[in-house]
Amino acid sequence: MATKKSNTIKLKFDSARNLAPAPESKSAAKIDPRYDLFINGKFEKPLSKKYFGTINPATEEKLSEVAEANQADVNRAVKAARAAYDNVWKKMPAKERAKYIYRIARMIQERAREFAIIESLDGGKPIRESRDFDVPTAANHFFYYAGWADKLEYAFPNRTTQPLGVAGQIIPWNFPLLMAAWKIAPALATGNTVVLKPAETTPLTALKLAEIIQEADLPPGVVNIITGAGATGAAIVNHPDINKIAFTGSTDVGKIIQRAIAGTNKKATLELGGKAANIIFDDAPLDQAVEGVINGIFFNQGHVCCAGSRLYVQESVFKEVVRKLKDRMETMIVGDPLDKNTDIGAINSRQQLETINKYLKIGQQEGAEMYQSSCSIPRKGFFCRPTIFTNVAQSNRIAQEEIFGPVLAIQSFRTDDEVIEKANNTPFGLSAGVWTDKGSKIFNMTTKLRAGVVWANTFNKFDPTSPFGGYKESGYGREGGLHGLAAYVNIV
Ligand code: NAP
Ligand code: MG
């Protein structure tokens, strides 16, 4: 008698959490093989005649190629932005401007799934994050600033505001769409026009945003999106007809920009690097704190300017916290960014993976003890296991320099004064986190930590209504909230 063949489908279960693969479909996203420059409301071939590829860092496969804007292309974009400013945008009643910004917000929501997939494909971040954080927060920024456009007299009572003119905006690769929204929305709400350059490795969602801007029928030239490398960014910074530079990126490039605009009357906001301290007191709810630390350092592979990349744990709970952290790290899934179960996706580029690996070596050479989770990682693409270092000295480079990867440096402390001194002892001052049961301790810490944002019993929370920015080498100026409006106007 013939035995009946079993038709059970064999599923490959993930070893860490026994979850079957749950990949998002690539077919919901349309990526053209080539993108031109978005200038004056149209996609224009670059005068440079040059293009460069952008890859999926999880597979190393080419996704598309984008134009490389040279000086002449930057000139064209700035000219379009100036004409749109003079002839259309600054004259338009604010409530009309607001309608366009609302329209962009709604269109991002309508195409949210496509944006999330492309963000994960081009940059490597887990789809759960691009779907639940990047894309909705980007839409929220447009909604929020659309609301302010015709209410500037309430934002700045008894004062009159004037737009600055043409804003040059340069953004990094860690939150490509969200950074574009952070920059474009307040600029438009206050009556400025824009030339924006996304980062070399993640240009696609900005170009998709250009498609939306075109469909939204924004007057030509109000927003121009041009792709290219550092030289394109420098050409924007140095262009004489730019009135404001809004830059998010590394402290090194921030310093170059500061030097370049010294002696000009260009305004600037610089959102630069960070090395945030996450501080756990012995009275904190430890499981909740450990979750916060995990989110603080492993969110977006640690490619976060405000990542909690240093952890200070009060001595009496040090061992317990480190044990809990290791246990939690073991459950994390590193792999395909498009899988809905993935916790840590791909490192954004080969170059960034090399930087992270360099710091892993430096940390060990400095005498710190490295621990990595035992999870499997894909053989192709750029991946890094979640990593922590203990036995870290305050002077160690892994405790002082921004690594921009899933790497946490852990130290202990005994007293409040000691941890305040240690937390403040870096060149940066972007963010910090405090975990304690005592409200008085929270107030004491938040007033003494030199960081633009201090989270209490939570971490990495963002909202368009809340200003964000740094002290010291983390830059100056604020984005988000009312402060974000002030950065785009002259107040008279
Ligand atoms: P980056 O190398 O400074 O690049 C940022 C942007 O500047 C990119 O578009 C880049 O183009 C461009 N650029 C490079 N050289 C330039 C020059 N000489 N003049 C003008 N523009 C130039 O930084 P990244 O590595 O992309 O991003 C990571 C850094 O951003 C980290 O340090 C992180 O902390 C920081 N960040 C800060 C915040 C914040 O809000 N404070 C937020 C996110 C990220 P290419 O892409 O072609 O290099
Ligand atoms: Mg890419």
Q: Coil, helix or strand for 115?
A: helix
- The pLDDT score that the predictor gives to residue 19 is 84
Residue 211 in any domain: the answer is yes
- Nearest ligand to the CA atom of 337: 2
Closest ligand to C-alpha of residue 255 is: 1
Atom index in ligand 1 nearest the CA of residue 430 equals 41
Q: 52-66: string of b/e by CB count within 10 Å (b at 16+)?
A: eebbbbbbeeebbbb
Mean pLDDT calculated for residue range 220-242: 98
CA of 168 to the centre of ligand 2 (A): 22
**Beta strand spans in 334-482 (E):** 369-372, 387-390, 407-413, 428-429, 431-435, 453-456, 471-472, 475-476
Whether 397 and 422 share a structural domain: yes
Say yes or no: 135 and 99 in one domain. Answer: yes
Mean local confidence (pLDDT), 210-236: 98
Token code pair at residue 203: 């240009």
- The reported pLDDT for the residue numbered 12 is 52
In sequence order, the 6+-apart residues with CB closer than 8 A to the CB of 303 are 125, 173, 174, 347, 348, 352, 404, 405
Pair 300, 343 in one domain: yes
- The answer to the question of residue 246 being in a domain is yes
292 and 400 co-located in one domain: yes
Residue 235 Cβ contacting ligand 1 at under 6 Å: no
CA of 261 to the centre of ligand 2 (A): 30
- pLDDT at residue 262 tops 50: yes
What's the rounded mean pLDDT across residues 288-317?
98
**Under 8 Å CB-to-CB from 338, ≥6 apart: which residues?**
23, 24, 26, 58, 117, 120, 121, 127
pLDDT tens for each residue of 163-177: 999 999 999 999 999
**Same domain (yes/no): 257, 281:** no
Output the average pLDDT for the chain. 96
Containing structural domain, residue 398: 277-456
Average pLDDT, stretch 455-477?
97
Is residue 212 over pLDDT 80? yes
Q: Integer distance in angstroms from the first to the last C-alpha of the chain? A: 93
The residue ranges of DSSP E strands in 317-415, in sequence order, are 369-372, 387-390, 407-413
| 56-77 per-position pLDDT tens digit | 999 999 999 999 999 999 999 9
Ligand 1: distance of its center to the CA of 233 in Å?
10
CA distance 418 to 146: 45
DSSP 354-367: HHHHHHHHHHHHTT
**Which is the closest atom of ligand 1 to the Cα of 260?**
19
Residue that the structure tokens 């690594």 belong to: 403
- The reply to whether ligand 1 has any atom less than 6 angstroms from the CB of 250 is yes
For residue 396, the domain's CATH number is 3.40.309.10
Region 140-149 average pLDDT: 98
Q: Is residue 13 part of a domain?
A: no
Over residues 187-216, mean pLDDT:
98
Pocket test for ligand 1, best of 305, 350, 462 (most atoms within 8 A of CB): 305
pTM of the prediction? Answer: 0.95
Q: 64 forms bridges with which residues in the sheet? A: 54
Q: Quick one: 176 and 33 in the same domain?
A: yes
Which atom number of ligand 1 is nearest to the Cα of residue 228? 47
Residue 392, both tokens? 């870290």
Task: Flag whether pLDDT at 383 surpasses 90.
Answer: yes
Task: Give the pLDDT mean for 435-459.
Answer: 97
pLDDT of residue 2: 44
Output the six-digit token pair for 466: 């809340």
Q: pLDDT band at 102, cuts 50/70/90? A: very high
- For the stretch 324-366, pLDDT in tens is 999 999 999 999 999 999 999 999 999 999 999 999 999 999 9
Question: Which pairing describes strands 37-39 and 42-44: parallel, antiparallel, or unpaired?
Answer: antiparallel
Ligand number nearest CA of 60 is 2
Does residue 14 form part of some domain?
Answer: no
Residue 14's pLDDT band (boundaries 50, 70, 90)?
low
Task: For residues 194 and 206, give the distance between their C-alpha atoms in angstroms, rounded to a whole number.
Answer: 13
Q: Does the beta carbon of 237 sit less than 6 angstroms from any atom of ligand 1?
A: yes
Residue length, the chain?
Answer: 492
Cα–Cα distance measured from residue 326 to residue 400, given in angstroms and rounded to the nearest whole number: 23
Question: For ligand 1, atom 32, which residue shows the shortest CA distance?
Answer: 250
* Tokens found for residue 114: 């496509």
Same domain membership, residue 307 and residue 213: no
10 has a pLDDT exceeding 60:
no
Is 5 a domain residue? no
Identify whether residues 231 and 293 lie together within a single domain: no
Q: How many domains are contained in the chain?
A: 2
| CA 345 – ligand 1 centroid, Å | 20
Tokens (6 digits) for 304: 């976060």
**How high is the pLDDT of residue 5?**
47
Whether 431 has a pLDDT exceeding 80, the answer reads yes
Q: Residue 18: pLDDT band by 50, 70, 90 thresholds? A: confident
Residue 129 CB burial class (10 angstroms; 0-12, 13-18, ≥19) = buried
d(Cα 295, Cα 453) in Å, to the nearest integer?
16
User: Is 316 part of any domain?
Assistant: yes
For ligand 2, the distance from its centroid to the CA atom of residue 111, given in whole angstroms, is: 20
pLDDT at 289 > cutoff 50? yes
Residues 6+ apart with CB under 8 A from 231: 70
Neighbours of 340 (CB within 10 A): 14
Q: Are residues 353 and 268 in the same domain?
A: no
Q: Is the pLDDT of residue 7 over 90?
A: no
- Give domain status of residue 466, yes or no: no
Q: Are residue 162 and residue 209 in the same domain, yes or no?
A: yes
DSSP string, 198-210: --TT--HHHHHHH
CA 342, CA 50: separation in Å to the nearest integer?
Answer: 36
**Is the CB of 199 inside a 6 Å radius of any atom of ligand 1?**
yes
pLDDT at 4 over 60: no
Query: What is the predicted pLDDT for the residue at 257?
Result: 98
Active site residues: 271, 305
Shared-domain flag, residues 374 and 395: yes
85 inside domain: yes
- Residue 230: CB within 6 Å of ligand 1? yes
The environment of the single-atom ion ligand 2, i.e. residues with CB closer than 5 A, is: 54, 122, 201
Ligand nearest to the CA of 346: 2
Q: Are 244 and 97 found together in one domain?
A: yes
Q: What CATH number does residue 139 fall under?
A: 3.40.605.10
